[in-house]
Amino acid sequence: MNQTSPRLLFIGCMFLFVFMYAPLLVVIVFSLTPTEYGVSWEGFTLKWYQAVLDNKNIQAALKVSLMVAIPCVLISTAIGTITAFTLYRSRFFGRALYQGIIYIPLIMPDLVIGISLLLFYTSIKLELGVLTILLAHISFTIPLTTLVIIARMQRIDRTLEDAAMDLGADEWTTMRKVTLPLLKPGILAAALLAFPWSFNDFVITFFVSGVGSSTLPIRVYSMIRLGVSPVINALGTLIVVIPLILVVIGLLLERRRV
């Protein structure tokens, strides 16, 4: 048993890598070769990347995606922080129920969320567009940000706040000088998780986006319907590689600071 389990673990890891990253590798490889149809390597080119940069539709969609994702992250992180504070700190009637309810969207099918939001927005006569996408994204990222921040909050020693108050800090100063600085990693993590959730979402966005307000995933989907173009391979590669580079840079900076 002791002999075989590391090997089993190794095989398991290999499966994960093959099924997760091999398809990704295929996309990257075919974004770098001029083959337009079919799957064979015919030399190196960057022309599909040029096509991505030149594509006005993609540019417009990227703009919409960022117009949604950035405010969404800011707002849902802020609301998540406040919600976490309230849930963790105050005792009020129905608190446990409220805490349960807030996590339900995490396990609810996107399809159901999408349809219900669509029905809701149409019934209150809200015109579908960037605003409805933003509202939808804020609503489904709040449970995530709340959860991440509460998890961090539970690890903060409450006596630190007692100590701050004992040393003369009132409630507000204690929050500003002790609680928030200690919560910062949690708030950052929440924001970092919420961003891809918003940026990558397809299903819910599909229901609540209007004409002329396509986010990047929606745009990619409508492009695929006209046939898989290597432009999409290039776009896909960029979407995967650029955040990866940013994360690596972030980690390196973090390490240098310590």
Partner 1 sequence: MTQVASVELAHVVKRYGDVIAVNDLSLIIGEGEFFSLLGPSGCGKTTTLRLIGGLEKPDSGEIYISGEVVNDRPPYERSSNIVFQNYALFPHLTVNDNIAFGLRLKSRRTPEPEVKELVAQALELVHLEDFGARRPAQLSGGQQQRVALARALILRPKVLLLDEPLGALDRKLRKAMQIELRRIQQEVNITFVYVTHDQEEAMSMSDQVAVMRNGNFEQIGSPQEIFQSPRTRFTADFMGACNVFCGRVTAVVAPVAGCALGGTVQIETETGFTLISRNNRELSSGAATSISIRPEAVQVFPENWEWQADNIFDGRIVEKVYLGEVTELKVSLAEKDSIVSRVGSRIDQNFGFKEADPVSIGWNAEDCNLLSD
Q: Measured from the CB of residue 76, what is the shortest distance to partner 1 in angstroms?
A: 25
Non-local (6+) Cβ contacts of 90 within 8 A are: none
Cβ nearer to partner 1, comparing 116 with 173: 173
| Burial profile 105-122: b = 16 or more Cβ within 10 angstroms, e = fewer | beeeebeebbeebbeebe
**CA–CA gap between residue 171 and residue 161 (Å, rounded):** 9
Q: Are 233 and 44 in contact (CB under 8 A)?
A: no
**CA–CA gap between residue 139 and residue 163 (Å, rounded):** 36
**CA–CA gap between residue 28 and residue 131 (Å, rounded):** 34
**CA–CA gap between residue 258 and residue 251 (Å, rounded):** 11
Q: Measured from the CB of residue 255, what is the shortest distance to partner 1 in angstroms?
A: 17
Q: Measured from the CB of residue 91, what is the shortest distance to partner 1 in angstroms?
A: 12
Residue 2: is it exposed, middle or buried by C-beta count within 10 angstroms (0-12/13-18/19+)? exposed
Cβ nearer to partner 1, comparing 56 with 257: 257
Cβ nearer to partner 1, comparing 67 with 156: 156
Q: Measured from the CB of residue 153, what is the shortest distance to partner 1 in angstroms?
A: 15
Q: Are 111 and 176 in contact (CB under 8 A)?
A: no
**186: its two tokens:** 């949690």
Q: Measured from the CB of residue 30, what is the shortest distance to partner 1 in angstroms?
A: 48
Q: Measured from the CB of residue 185, what is the shortest distance to partner 1 in angstroms?
A: 10
Positions in the binding site for partner 1 (CB under 8 A): 157, 159-160, 162-170, 173, 177-178, 181-182
Cβ nearer to partner 1, comparing 47 with 184: 184
Cβ nearer to partner 1, comparing 72 with 178: 178
**213: its two tokens:** 């307000």
Cβ nearer to partner 1, comparing 174 with 209: 174
